Amino acid sequence: MAWALVSTIVDQLGSLIASEFKDRLGSLLPSEVGSIVNVKEEVEKLERKFHEIQAKLNDAEERQVKEEAVRLWLKKLNGVSYEMGDVLDEWNTAKIKEDIKKEEEAEASTAKRRKVLSLVSTFFQRRDIVLKIKEITEKLDEIDGEGDMYQFVLTSGNEEVVRPPTDSHVDVSNIRGREKVKGDLVSCLLGRGNEEERSPHVISLVGMGGVGKTTLAQLAYNVSELNSAHFEKKGWVCVSDRFNRLMVAKAIIKICGGGDSNTTDWPNLMDEMCETVRGKKLFLVFDDVWTEDYVLWKQFELALQNAAQGSRILVTTRNNRVAEVMGSAKRINLEELSDDDCWLIFSTIAFSDRDAEQRKDLEEIGRKISDKCKGLPLAARTLGSLMRFKKRKEQWEKVFCSRLWEFEDVERGLFAPLLLSYYDLPSPLRRCFLYCALFPKDYDFSDEDLVSMWMAQGYIKSNARSVASDYLEILFIRSLFQDFRGDEYDKNIMRFKMHDIVHDLAQFMAKNDCVTINGYEESRPNLQNARHLYLEIPQNAQIPESIYSAKNLRTLIVVGHDSYNVSKLFHHFRCLRTLSLGCHYGKLKVSDEIEDLMHLRYLKIPTWQENELPETICNLCNLQFLNITSNHPDGFEKLPQGMSKLINLKCLIFEEPLNNNFEFPRGIGRLSSLTKLSHFTVGGKDDCQRCELGELKYLNHLQGTLTINRLGNVVDACEAKNAELNKKIGLRDLRLNFFEENEENHGETDESVLNALEPPPGLEKLEIDSYRGTTMFPNWMMSLAKLKSLTLICGENLERSPPLGKLQFLEHLIIGAHGFRFKKLGVEFLGIESENKKDGIIKIFPNLKTLRFYHLLEWEEWIGIGGQEEEDCIIIMPCLQKLEIWMCPKLKSLPDFLFKTSLQEFSVRDSPILSERYQRGTGEDWAKISHIPNIEIDYNEVQRDGQEVIRPDDEEEFDQEEHV
């Protein structure tokens, strides 16, 4: 962590020297230059000193695991680095405020002179900052001198971590809990079962570090059935994450009898590998594969296709994506062991050479220690080996009650696989990983939230979202994160967790920096050196006074279920970069003192009493992420008027609901750094201070999802065009809501506004709500070549359906209404026009998978294409999987073409005529739908997986009839 922290300071100092001194000295008056040069020399001296210390840090960070003195030295260095970071941030904040002040004053005649004087004012009005730099330089000299006694090995950057090589030998005496998995694996390797044969036939063992993948592969490798009588050649290749294709190719050649190849030219080596494996039935183990490079693997796949049918490749990896890239025909996810199996491994080792009486005396505490293994066989073996030499029960209790890896006699072997993964990370990424120690065990992480917090701490540059995505991928690959899945409500957000032992490792490495407090705990940790605090407050409790000793906090996350006073937080924690306040049910008022948090980058805050935020929040000029949650029953109501001063704001999120009268302040368009804006609301038409849609014009970095509300307030197409939505190429999900309270009939305006909006061509999801036009099919819709999902919720003015069948890439379509006026749905919906017909086959909705109609109260007829000749040359919805018709009470029937598709699910609700027609057995059109595997009529399952569903009341009725 220290290496990355110091590296950041070095970068900041270098940037300061370049931007403040070298670029501007020429603009100053001669009388001003002398003082500035003295400060420049101090900053350069400090930069050199940090550079010198940086060279020692790779060695120091690895040694701290076992050397407490080194750990304490790093703690001092971290403290000074944090202090320096605050000083530089103060400097930068002064510059930002100066720039904002100049812009507000906007006096053109003196603007140039102010630019020249801004540097002078920064220096001379903030002499305290210069004095702090001198003090920090003195502290750093002292720390550097102390470090000399440790004789650190100097390095220029991260040292490469070499993993211990694996081989095919293993002691099976301590293997427990894998018998069934082993049997399944051996069967796959022997070709038993009915799986489709692929060449090469790849089987992947996937699981987190330490779960026993290599051990299981070794067991299978040494099974007698898998000898030379079954496979002509078999061999073991330790791949590791730095995939050396020459090394792997030469290992394969040697296994297959080609000897040691001296070829270094890749094409020649490929030819040699192809010829060596040709016609041979192989069993190869590729152990510890990390690379996801499909192109790299493809070359080996092509070579191995020359092997004989029945060849097998067994891969061990921590990453599911590796298994996918390698085209695995079979994937075995290796889960953690049961508590009983862990105990068997642990006790076999720990109780060796002990008599029965000793075993009985130690078994209770031993089982508690074994539970700490959390299903990892490696941890069980390591702990067992540790306890084997602890003779007395008091020693066992001491290990159980303490963080066992903190004892000086505990080697890193307990966390060997995890430490290897940790130290192999780039230094900046190590710091990101350790930050996760802040959160409680089993915490459900959100990638969006975690990355935002990393950026707020300066771990990742604020414009490097792609780098953050790479970091998450690496942490997942190393199994430091697990259980990745899509968010239940927003599929653009990924959620994941951290295994308990991985969390313990992070807490150990981030000792004292990251602290988690459950409000129910009686004991309180020492918080004087804490930098990041997660605090859970019980119901009806207040924030404990003890936390105010943590003067240097940079992160404070408060989770509570009732009211608590937050005003003291703003006064005590002036160094905060991240503040997240949670209040699920109670009342929380944000006071004006929030402006004291000058370093703040990330703010997640609920509102209640006044249902708005104080104006002083706009003085947080470093703020990058603002997430507003309203606990008020009427929804969040008002943003401060000075929002345009938040020039560094990148993310503005409103967690619904929003008040019906909510409006944006004017000037929001100045926040040109915004990358995420969850909602934008157009102001009322009659207000001269209204926020116009044109405020979006310069927000061209927006990404992800954007909802634009009250488009009914847009005056004309010109205002809509000024938004320049087509330039927001990062948007993927757009929701256009035309709702307007007390609205008049402005259908023509809605039509012209919709035509003028023109979303970016990369849009994947579009929702149009409360639209009042009589027709809908804007001229830009056909240009949305990536549009996969479309939702139309229209008002009663729409007279006919748009020709949506022309959308060739659409996969999901929902059509609903507040009351569609049309009564018929015909060929216009399919987009079939006689003048556009050509010879050959026409595909309508070629990629549509799901289709839903709901709340169409006047809809009576859905007319098909008609005519056998037309049916023969037109293919409609060939990929349709799911059809739902809800709340369409007058609809009489459905066209036959729907039931010639590949439908797997069919649902009818609150549509009585259809419900009767499609009743199982008795309905006149049951035969048309009976082939669909899953059918639901009026909330009742009729058919599931092709089988009739018998409800309990049906069974009772059937029994009564049988009895009669």
* Residue ranges in the chain whose pLDDT is less than 50: 22-34, 107-120, 124-125, 158-165, 169-170, 172-174, 193-195, 402-414, 416-417, 834-836, 868-869, 955-956, 958-964
Cα four-point dihedral sign 382, 386, 392, 393: negative
Q: Report how far residue 336's alpha carbon sits from residue 373's, in angstroms, rounded to the nearest whole number.
A: 10
Helix (H) or strand (E) segment spanning residue 268: helix 266-277
- Asked whether 810 and 765 are in contact (CB, 8 A), the reply is no
Q: Which pLDDT belongs to residue 791?
A: 95
Q: Which pLDDT belongs to residue 23?
A: 47
Provide the β-strand partners of residue 515: 533
| CA-based nearest residue to 510, from 480, 530, 538 | 530
Interacting residues of 16 by C-beta distance below 8 A, sequence separation 6+: 43, 88, 91
Burial class (CB in 10 A: 0-12, 13-18, 19+), 923: middle
Q: Report how far residue 253's alpha carbon sits from residue 249's, in angstroms, rounded to the nearest whole number.
A: 6
Q: Report how far residue 846's alpha carbon sits from residue 864's, in angstroms, rounded to the nearest whole number.
A: 17
Burial class (CB in 10 A: 0-12, 13-18, 19+), 861: middle
Q: Report how far residue 837's alpha carbon sits from residue 650's, in angstroms, rounded to the nearest whole number.
A: 49
Q: Among all chains, which residue has been given the structure tokens 């009529």?
A: 937
Helices (H) and strands (E) in the chain, counts: 29, 34
3-class secondary-structure state, position 814: strand
Summarize the chain as % helix, strand, coil (round to 5).
Answer: 45, 15, 40
Q: Which pLDDT belongs to residue 773?
A: 84
3-class secondary-structure state, position 375: coil
